[in-house]
């Protein structure tokens, strides 16, 4: 077992692992594990819209109408208000459905993380919290997702000094433990 930091922090404290609810995170921006419609769903998506309120949905509808009438493709990300959430903004990204992208799942999952981090930097945001994208309804094996997500975050942070905290939020301790066994952080 390869657990590299007992306090759940990596990359000089810029990455922090916590167990909790993504909607309760007090960071500049939280990431939503959305679907291409941007109109809500279950899991993280359901919680974000339920707690955040209608302002988020209204902005998502407008983004669909103006930029993505066919839906937001997997791997891409957009930003909206956070409504009633403690965060200031929500970045909505669409994870790959495992087994549905002809072997491009890892590339698309990495793109979710990198495009979300890029949007945060472009909007001058310093702290961001991610759920474990695609590992719920979309069926991505959590161990594989841990390797891909951590590699993508590590590569991005090497190029972006302005981000002070990337928080990875796991719903259950057992989910965090899987991540701790399979991440690639150095």
For the annotated catalytic residues, the residue numbers are: 45
Q: CA-to-CA distance for 67 and 60, rounded, in angstroms? A: 10
For residue 134, state whether it binds ligand AR6 (rule: CB under 6 A): yes
**Binders of ligand AR6 among 144-183, rule CB under 6 A?**
169, 171, 175
Residue at token pair 């945060």 = 120
For residue 41, state whether it binds ligand AR6 (rule: CB under 6 A): yes
For residue 45, state whether it binds ligand AR6 (rule: CB under 6 A): yes
Among 10, 15, 17, 22, contact with ligand AR6 (rule: CB under 6 A) = 22
Spacing of C-alpha 152 from chain mean position: 12
| Residue 38 dihedral angles phi and psi, to the nearest 5° | 60, 20
Among 16, 43, 80, 146, contact with ligand AR6 (rule: CB under 6 A) = 43
For the CB of residue 46, give the shortest distance to ligand AR6 in the complex, in Å.
6
For the CB of residue 112, give the shortest distance to ligand AR6 in the complex, in Å.
9
- Burial class (CB within 10 angstroms; exposed 0-12, middle 13-18, buried 19+) of 155: middle
3-state secondary structure (DSSP) of residue 136:
coil
Q: CA-to-CA distance for 67 and 79, rounded, in angstroms? A: 12
For residue 38, state whether it binds ligand AR6 (rule: CB under 6 A): no
- Contacts with ligand AR6 by CB under 6 A lie at 21-23, 33-35, 41-45, 47, 95, 131-138, 169, 171, 175
């Amino acid at each position: 077992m390869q657990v590299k930091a007992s306090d759940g922090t990596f990359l000089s404290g810029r990455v922090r692992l916590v167990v909790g609810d993504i909607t309760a995170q007090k960071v500049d921006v939280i990431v939503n594990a959305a679907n291409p419609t941007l109109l809500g769903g279950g899991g993280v998506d359901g919680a974000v819209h339920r707690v955040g309120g209608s302002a988020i949905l209204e902005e998502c509808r407008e983004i669909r109408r103006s930029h993505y009438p066919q839906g937001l493709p997997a791997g891409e990300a957009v930003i909206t208000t956070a409504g009633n959430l403690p965060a200031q903004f929500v970045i909505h990204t669409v994870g790959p459905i495992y087994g549905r992208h002809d072997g491009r799942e890892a590339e698309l999952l990495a793109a979710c993380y990198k495009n979300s981090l890029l949007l945060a930097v472009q909007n001058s945001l310093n702290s961001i919290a991610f759920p474990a994208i695609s590992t719920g309804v979309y069926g991505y094996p959590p161990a594989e997702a841990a390797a891909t997500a951590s590699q993508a975050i590590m590569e991005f942070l090497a190029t972006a000094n302005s981000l002070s905290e990337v928080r990875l939020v796991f719903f259950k301790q057992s989910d965090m433990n899987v991540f701790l066994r399979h991440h690639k952080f150095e």
